[in-house]
Structure 1
Amino acid sequence: MNKRALDQQLKRWARLGYSARGVIYLVIGGLALLTAFGERGGKTTDSKGAILKIMEQPFGSVMIFLLIVGLLGYSTWRLIQCIKDPDGHGSTGKGLAVRFGLFVSAVTHLLLAFWAGRLLMGAGGGSPQGGGTSFLTTNLGQIALGIAGAAVIVTGFAHIYKGITAGFEKYMSIPADKRNWARAVCQFGLIARGVVWLIVGWLLIQAAWMAKGGEIDGTSEALQALRDHAYGPWLLGIVAAGLFAFGIYCIMEAVYRRINTSIVDQR
């Protein structure tokens, strides 16, 4: 395969990856919206719950297979972004932090693809917590959980900042006739996802403090925390709509993001 064909293949794989992430968040946001409005079939869930919901649909196995391919593509592209730095984040403290976040994203989406693969083969996804619960309730585990919670909170603020400043636009080529509404949708989605990360981070820190690491379910529990608030339906509805908007943002990344593959072949 020549360089041009390889570049095109990598771009298609990366765009399929952005689309896969978008589908997952559309399902998460959609189910949470149904919950906020008290509709039948609604639930607060996370990425794995969204995949399970997709699996229940007609041709669910085919959709999950495509989702797995997309997640593998997304993980590969995230790893390239981390190592080759095609977006020019650099080697400053901030740049290295962003690139480390890209590495974490690559690993988490790879694990999600592996989990979905086991589900597709009928092996079952297994518990989200796995065998790490006992470790997380030790002193060292509590410290690790607390650090993870702080890192998630920083990530949440980064998403909110990116949304407010529309920093995503420098990586996307959105047509002028779509730019105004697209900017608003993407900003809303990023801010909402940031809010969810802030809640998840706080829950992780609380879990570390109370030595109950095995009880954290991430996005699902964060949305449930909003639902249980005094103004739960309204808060959940707003954030759920934002997560749905984040799914649209991911789909727009799949279509309009500038993907620089020329740097991949550089030595």
Structure 2
Amino acid sequence: MLARLGFTARGVVYILIGVLAIAIARGKAAPEADRTGALQAIAGESYGRLVLWLLVIGFAAMALWRFAQALYGVRGRKAHSGTERALAFGRGVLYAVFFVGTLKFVRDRQLPASTNQQSHDFTVQAMTHTGGRVLVGVVGAVIVLAGLYLIKTGATRSFVKDLNLSGAGKRTRETVEMLGVVGNVARGLVFGMIGVFLVDAAVRYDASKAKGIDATLRSFAHTPLGPWLLVAVAVGFVLFGGYSLCEARWHRGI
């Protein structure tokens, strides 16, 4: 139950981020295309408060499930239990942060800092200390590697091993795999570029070069392909949201 709630919450947020990015590509006024912007968009709807509370529950559920994996082990991953447990714990911490931020917004209307602001603040604070530039560069490099891993995960369809589609029809399996391929590649591309911007900020000793999800997505519109690349990546985010909903149904660890 915890896992299903968590994957559903993640799916809703990614779909909204993708929709916001598409609106930005079309030149429409929209909140920032990240989790904070998604919360703002939801809050502006008549049903917003209910959905926000459901996200609070979903993020809390995902955090608890990941912590349970860290404590008891990850199903189907016994060969690398130590690494998988560490990754599960890290994901639990991440979703615990999402839970706290969303809860504060629902209760106190205190909007979480955007990913753009978080990236900038981290870079500024790190660079005030000795070795801060190195730390920013290392963090950026790690994020680049994470992005490349996500791209590889999508391109090689290795995510399929986390799904139990034995009872699904052929068309359903093909659809889920398509969502996973496109979604993971799009997500990997964005996270990889976030890492590149952090490395660039470290090399140039310029915190303004650091970007979050929103600024990174917007940067795609300034390539030779123009807004079409942003639209393509945004659609990828929407599809990854759909894949997350599929994980809520067919994830092998549930």
TM-score (ref. length: structure 2): 0.87
Q: 1:89 to 1:142 in 2, by over 3 A?
A: farther
Structure 1 match to 2:92: 106
Q: Tell me the CA shift for residue 224 of structure 1.
A: 1.3
How far the C-alpha of 1:232 sits from its partner, in A, is: 2.3
1:45 is the counterpart of 2:33 = yes
Identity of aligned residues (%): 28
- Write out per-residue CA displacement over residues 36-81 of structure 1, whole angstroms, 9 at most, x where no aligned residue: 234x344651111111211111121111111011001111222233
Runs (5+) with no aligned partner, structure 2: none
Alpha-carbon deviations, 1:162-198, whole Å to 9, x = none? 1112112122123123011221121110111010111
How has the CA–CA distance of structure 1 residues 62 and 238 changed in structure 2, closer, same or farther, with 3 Å as cutoff? Answer: same
- For residue 184 of structure 1, the aligned residue among 157, 178, 188 is 178
Q: CA deviation at 1:149?
A: 0.9
2:138 corresponding residue in structure 1: 147
Change (3 A) 1:167 1:34: same
Answering whether residue 148 of structure 2 is matched by residue 162 of structure 1, we say: no
Contact 1:142–1:213 (8 Å) recurs in 2: no
Distance across 2 between alignment mates of 1:221 and 1:96:
35
How far, CA to CA, are the matches of 1:23 and 1:56 in structure 2?
A: 16
Q: CA deviation at 1:134?
A: 4.4
Q: Distance in 1 between the 2:199 and 2:100 partners?
A: 28
Residues 29/135 of structure 1: CA separation in 2 closer, same or farther (3 Å cut)? same
Residue of structure 1 equivalent to 2:44: 56
Residues 190 and 217, structure 2, Cα contact 8 Å, conserved in 1? yes
* Cα deviation 1:232-259 (Å, max 9, x = unaligned): 2111011111111110010100111123
Q: Does 1:224 align with 2:218?
A: yes
Q: Which amino acid aligns with 1:33?
A: I
Instruction: From the superposition, tell whether residues 134 and 147 of structure 1 become closer, same or farther in structure 2 (CA, over 3 Å).
Output: same
Structure 1 stretches lacking a partner, 5+ long: 1-11, 261-267
Count of aligned pairs between the two proteins: 246
One-letter identity of the residue aligned with 1:170: K
Indicate the residue corresponding to 1:205 in structure 2: 199
CA distance in structure 2 between the partners assigned to 1:22 and 1:112 by the alignment? 14
Counterpart amino acid of residue 93 in structure 2:
V
Deviations 1:214-244 (A, max 9, x none): 7634211210111222322111011111111
Cα distance, 1:105 vs structure 2: 2.2
Q: Aligned AA for 1:55?
A: A
What root-mean-square deviation, in Å, do the aligned CA atoms of Structure 1 and Structure 2 show? 2.3
Residue aligned with 2:131, SS: helix
The AA in structure 2 aligned to 1:136 is A
Classify 1:29/1:216 alpha carbon distance in 2 versus 1 (closer, same or farther; 3 Å).
Answer: same
SS for the counterpart of 2:108 is coil
Alignment check: 8 A CA contact 2:179 2:239 kept? yes
TM-score scaled by length of structure 1:
0.83
